[in-house]
Amino acid sequence: MKSVLVYLNNVQTHLITYGDPFQNNRTDVIICISGNPGVPDFYIEFASYLHTNTGLPVCVIGQAGHEKMPDQKSNQLQGQEHLFNLEGQVLHKLDLIHNHIEKKSKIHLIGHSIGCWMILEMLQKDELILQRLSSVNLLFPTLQKMSESKNGKLLNNILRPLHYFILLLFIIVYYLPESIRTYLAFSYLKLNSLPKHFSSRILKLCNPRVGEKILHLAYNEMDKVNLLNFAMIDKIKHLTRIIYNNRDNWVPPHCMNDLMQYQPLIAMKEVDIEHSFVLKSSEEVAEMAIDFITSKM
């Protein structure tokens, strides 16, 4: 595993790679696009399993601005909102593919949550990527009507009006002594039966500058992710697998019905796994993704 810092769409960005997705002698490459929050570290177990069991290079990209960067300008939201909203995040991922991934490689795209919506938008903006596309895994996708989901209503109706109070909480936690922040992280992990090594990942989210950009993107999702991109789904249906949970609190239950009309060309699998699968089910979901990837190689 390597951690790499690159500039994508004018934002310094942390990538996690396995193998070499940048210079790989034309082999296939797996690109994993995170959900929100978008910290690549949460996908380490998932990406490692993908690489070990396919032998393919893997690149994990999070969301621009969701980690504190050495470049201070990349941490600033004010005056740069366009870099951190949905549109900016899509351009961020396109920059990775166009200017960093080996140009002769075939691409296997994996999206998680809002990363799935971004994949559809990327392909719509640049259909040349379709010529390089071997497979698409959409994991617990949030593709439409996010504001109508259970968690979307909670975010819009309760948390969003409390925006400045939430930012204040980020600031308070950030300025607590490190020992107390670490204790709180360990307590959260123990309460949710999660491994202790997740603590460093959680602490990355406690930075107020990171927190405001996570919220900025989340509000934009509520406002913009409304209609399913039927045209793009139709173009990639034969290359696509969807893994979903009908009790996903980020997806209104009826939304999966719109995708089922594309079966059997589009592969769909219902699972009893939480939306945030990277916390407890990384290898299980990776195994399902691998099955589909290898079938398209």
Tens digits of per-residue pLDDT, 78-92? 999 999 999 999 999
187-to-44, 180, 190, 196 alpha-carbon distances in Å: 22, 10, 5, 9
Question: What is the identity of the amino acid at 38?
Answer: G
Given this model, what pLDDT does residue 27 score? Answer: 84
Say which DSSP state 135 is in. E
Q: Quick: pLDDT tens for 150-159.
A: 999 999 999 9
Q: How, if at all, do strands 240-244 and 133-139 pair?
A: parallel
Q: Identify the CATH number of the domain defined by range 2-146+226-295.
A: 3.40.50.1820
∠ CA 153-64-214, rounded to 5°: 30
Report DSSP letters for 220-241, one per residue. HHHHH--S--HHHHHHHGGGEE
Give the separation between CA 94 and CA 38, rounded to whole angstroms: 16
Using alpha carbons, list the distances in angstroms from residue 178 to 39, 169, 182, 259.
20, 16, 6, 46
Q: 3-state DSSP call for residue 54?
A: helix
Give the separation between CA 63 and CA 218, rounded to whole angstroms: 11
Residues of the chain with pLDDT under 50: none
Catalytic residue ranges: 113, 248, 275
Question: Which amino acid is present at 140?
Answer: F
Quick one: 96 exposed, middle or buried, by C-beta within 10 A (0-12, 13-18, 19+)?
buried
Q: What is the pLDDT of residue 26?
A: 73
Query: Torsions phi, psi of 2, nearest 5?
Result: -125, 145
Q: What is the pTM of this model?
A: 0.96
